[in-house]
Chains A and B, each alone.
Chain A
């Protein structure tokens, strides 16, 4: 069974700061997902990675398959980035294994 660990669990930063959230998983996978959940809201898929790096606006996701590690970066952070960011591993039909999430607060 895959274990997915995220760090940090909680992160408070000032607007404009560069944010990094880390994710490690225990078993080799075919894909790693980064998701965003706003308070009381639904879950939105940000990235699906199988290798290398992806960028979307101010968000960057990287993955190192050999080290079983992925990072999510936010450049020029903004209060609207405040949310829970969830890492999830897997790629098969039997669903994803989720981390517990990182609660991010960006203060103005």
Chain B
């Protein structure tokens, strides 16, 4: 069981470039999340999804886009990268039972992104 798989693990981008961070889970979890972790700060929610075809903004969505075409995949797109997007990004998944509760929180190993 792979859990939550994120790629790439490291990436350096130039200002203005674009890229997609990939996230796949094999646990049939309905909820998926993208967080960013900055030094000295708690993780912040970028976007989340409660199921295929449904996405919603979190606390810090500006400069990012997501899609959820399947239960397994939840890619995060960075358009026009800026130095402020230098961070460590974590994908996570969890499941609910009949829309109640939130269980089995599982994190990917993270992507360390530097924008120069």
Contact = CB atoms under 8 A, between A and B. Distances in A.
A27 interface: no
B48 A94 contact: yes
Given A93-B31, A94-B56, A94-B58, A43 B107 contact: yes
Interface string B72-116: 000000000000000000101000100101110111111000000
Contacts of B107: 35, 42-45
Nearest to B103: A48
Interface size class of B (residues with CB under 8 A): 20 to 34
B2 to A, nearest CB: 13
Chain B interface helix/strand/loop/mixed: strand
Contact of A92 (B42, B58, B102): B102
A44 B103 CA distance: 14
Interface stretch (A12-20, A68-76, A96-104): A96-104
Contacts of A30: 101-102
Interface string A29-65: 0110101000001111100100000000000000000
B45 interface: yes
Chain A interface helix/strand/loop/mixed: loop
Contacts of A45: 105-107
A31 B110 contact: no
Interface of B: 31, 33, 35, 40-45, 48, 50, 56, 58, 90, 92, 96, 99, 101-103, 105-110
Closest 9 CB pairs of A and B: A98-B42, A42-B109, A43-B107, A95-B45, A98-B43, A93-B50, A100-B42, A45-B105, A95-B33
